[in-house]
Structure 1
């Protein structure tokens, strides 16, 4: 089977951020795990990707120990675990080499953040000629403050600002941007046949 699932940044780093409690889909790890099992059962490859910012002192600094998959996610033998330092999963990893060497032409994308690393990876994958499926309900994101909003605000202050872009709006915008151009939009239940709550 010439297909792969790319699980992007479903890592402990995000749970360490104050805004995690505002995330659109706190069950993202469980849904990624369902997709991984489904992909394996079909003979496909699961590629795991983590985001790292060495020396940053943030939750993405590997020295702090949070740059690891969330609990419940474990690569099977032979599944690559890649670490990126760019938004997309290709530029700073050997993902493209892995996919080409295995003759993979179809990619399914899930992970964190919907509009950032996941969407950017889906767009680039499409430009590279892959047939891309974007599983929106196996992604998640947080509200985005307005570009002029002061830094360091609490999650409650971010939500109270009428200029904040809410998660529903972000997810809808990503679907509009990708559908029919860069990716097919699908759901976990549609792909796996397993209902999700």
Structure 2
């Protein structure tokens, strides 16, 4: 249903699964295991996988906090997109990589739910992609000290919120890891 002509394929996006981002995040190990399961399935089925890695003043490029968590790593020729904005499309070559792979549907995983996941989901949807948010494969840090709800509520709200998105010719959905079909 994507509005992107000639783009029938699905791609798995693994967003910001970095040490400094996932440190102390709720359900960290479960989220990493679910992303790992999706990676294994995508690779076995020949589904394109694209990795996204954020950098800023707290995630200095090349620092230990900036590195991917040790449980997950790109394989073979899986591309890596470096970004400095929440939306992985802004100022990056992500669109070109997805176009080369014929991807019109994206399956989103990673962190942070209320920042880069949400921004990239919206960025993809407004650009014409179908977007599936994997309900149990994203997480976020605790920002209650800044007035945010507890992380578990942020995750639950984002899953609820995304399940109600709609736009002409595009499809948004939320599904758990076990129900993802590439």
For these two proteins, the number of residue pairs brought into alignment is 168
Question: How far apart, in 2, do the equivalents of 1:129 and 1:14 lie?
Answer: 28
Question: How far apart, in 2, do the equivalents of 1:42 and 1:131 lie?
Answer: 19
Q: When the two structures are superposed, what TM-score results if normalisation uses the length of structure 1?
A: 0.78
Runs of 4+ off more than 2 Å: 63-66, 142-147
Task: Quote the offset at 1:122 in angstroms.
Answer: 0.8
Counterpart in the other structure of 1:189: 178
Question: How far apart, in 1, do the equivalents of 2:48 and 2:149 lie?
Answer: 35
**Please, which runs of 5 or more residues in structure 1 have no aligned partner?**
148-162, 193-197
Task: Quote the offset at 1:109 in angstroms.
Answer: 0.1
> What is the aligned-residue RMSD (CA, Å)?
1.9
Counterpart in the other structure of 1:168: 152
The structure with higher relative contact order (CA 8 Å, sep 6+) is 2
Question: How far apart, in 2, do the equivalents of 1:134 and 1:103 lie?
Answer: 19
Q: When the two structures are superposed, what TM-score results if normalisation uses the length of structure 2?
A: 0.84
Task: Quote the offset at 1:64 in angstroms.
Answer: 2.6
Matches of residues 106-117 of structure 1 in structure 2 within 5 Å?
Answer: 106-117=105-116
**Please, which runs of 5 or more residues in structure 2 have no aligned partner?**
1-7, 167-171
CA contact (8 A) 2:21 2:141 kept: no
Counterpart in the other structure of 2:39: 36
- 1:156-185 residue CA offsets vs partner (Å, 9 max, x unmatched): xxxxxxx65112221122123211316200
SS in 2 for 1:105: strand
